[in-house]
Structure formats: C-alpha cells, structure tokens
C-alpha cells in the first residue's frame, strides 16, 4: 500500500484531528497532511486555542503552498498560549527582547572598557618611551603586554 499525505491508501487511519474529533477521516481531509496520527498533541493544543472549525476555515482559505507555514505558526502560538494564556507568544517575544537589550548594554560596557584599556596602554607606553633607551623600551613593552593580558584574563573571569 502506498502512503499519501502520511496515510495509507485503502485502510484509512484517521489523522490526529479526526481522531480527536471522533469523526471519519475522508480521503481529502484538510487536516491530514498537517496533523498526522502519530502526533496527536499537535492538533490538541491548536484545537484547544483556536477551535477545529476556525482552523478548518483558515486552511481552506489559504493556497496549499502556504498551509504548512500557517499550521506551524498556529502550533507555535497554541503552545505559547497554553504556557502563558494572557500573553502567548508576545510574552516570549518580549522576554527575548529584554534579553537582547541586556546583552547589548553588556556589549557596550565591554567595548568601552576595551577602548579605555587601549587608551591607557597608549598613554603609559608614550610616557615610558620618552625617557628610555630602545632596549629598555622593548623590555617595558613586553612587560606591559604581559600585565595587560593578565588584566584582561582577570576581567574576563570576574
């Protein structure tokens, strides 16, 4: 027997939607390609939030090439609504936006510290070079880079 849309032809097993709704699953069932029998929770959450009738109308109004994306969006929103009935996916988006804001602030602080370190390194190397011999300047430069690398390691771990 060949499979068509996740169902065997001939012996028609109901899709998750028809099984939950306790109805016969027709060969042209609009739910069958998107809600396979082996994943009943997918349709259950969508049905709980949107209702089978609304999902059916939406899928029938859309061209076939857009239905899969629509189902994915409905499943995501339904799962978000189950977790957070008031805000749904908007709450998740808001939380992620707050995390982005915090990380952007941390990045700005880190970039400012790098600029400050570079300026401090430039000022101290200029003052040392003004009264020293070339060999002592090279030695100071090596010592200074060792100190700064230790400073950077300490700031990374603190």
Query: What number of other Cβ atoms are within 10 A of residue 127's Cβ?
Result: 10
Model-wide pTM > 0.85: no
Residues 97 and 46 in one domain: no
Residues 48-104 have pLDDT tens digits of 999 999 999 999 999 999 999 999 999 999 999 999 999 999 998 999 999 999 999
Residues 96 and 38 in one domain: no
Q: What average pLDDT does the structure give for the chain?
A: 81
Residues 71 and 94 in one domain: no
HEC string of 105-129 equals: HHHHHHHHHHHHHHHHHHHHHHHHH
Of 75, 21, 42, nearest in space to 29 by CA: 21
Record the tokens describing residue 81, joined without a space: 């609504």
Residues 101 and 69 in one domain: no
Residues 109 and 151 in one domain: yes
pLDDT(121) > 70: yes
Identify the domain containing residue 74 by its residue range.
3-83
Q: What is the pLDDT of residue 112?
A: 97
Rounded Cα distance between 17 and 135, Å, is 81
Number of domains in the chain: 2
Q: What is the pLDDT of residue 158?
A: 45
Confidence band for 132, pLDDT divided at 50, 70 and 90: low
Whole-Å CA distances, 94 to 16, 80, 108: 32, 13, 21
At residue 4, what are phi and psi to the nearest 5 degrees? -135, 110
At residue 119, what are phi and psi to the nearest 5 degrees? -65, -45
Whole-Å CA distances, 118 to 115, 125, 148, 149: 5, 11, 10, 12
Residues 69 and 11 in one domain: yes
Q: What is the pLDDT of residue 122?
A: 81
**End residue of a domain, out of 48, 68, 83:** 83
Residues 121 and 60 in one domain: no
Residues 19 and 67 in one domain: yes
Residues 106 and 79 in one domain: no
Residues 16-55 have pLDDT tens digits of 999 999 999 998 999 999 999 999 999 999 999 999 999 9
Rounded Cα distance between 152 and 111, Å, is 13
CB 46 within 8 A of CB 78: yes
Residues 19 and 39 in one domain: yes
**End residue of a domain, out of 56, 83, 110:** 83
């Amino acid at each position: 027997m060949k499979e068509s849309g996740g169902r065997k032809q001939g012996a028609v097993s109901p899709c998750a939607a028809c099984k939950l709704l306790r109805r016969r699953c027709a060969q042209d069932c609009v739910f069958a390609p998107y809600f396979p029998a082996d994943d009943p929770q997918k349709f259950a959450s969508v049905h709980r939030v949107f209702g089978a009738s609304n999902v059916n109308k939406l899928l029938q109004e859309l061209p076939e090439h857009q239905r899969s994306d629509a189902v994915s969006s409905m499943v995501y929103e339904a799962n978000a609504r189950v977790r957070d009935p008031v805000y749904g996916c908007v709450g998740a988006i808001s939380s992620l936006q707050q995390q982005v804001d915090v990380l952007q602030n941390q990045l700005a602080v880190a970039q400012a510290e790098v600029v400050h370190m570079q300026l401090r390194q430039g000022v101290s190397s200029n003052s040392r070079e003004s009264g020293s011999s070339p060999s002592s300047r090279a030695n100071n430069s090596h010592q200074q880079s060792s100190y700064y690398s230790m400073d950077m390691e300490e700031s990374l771990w603190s």
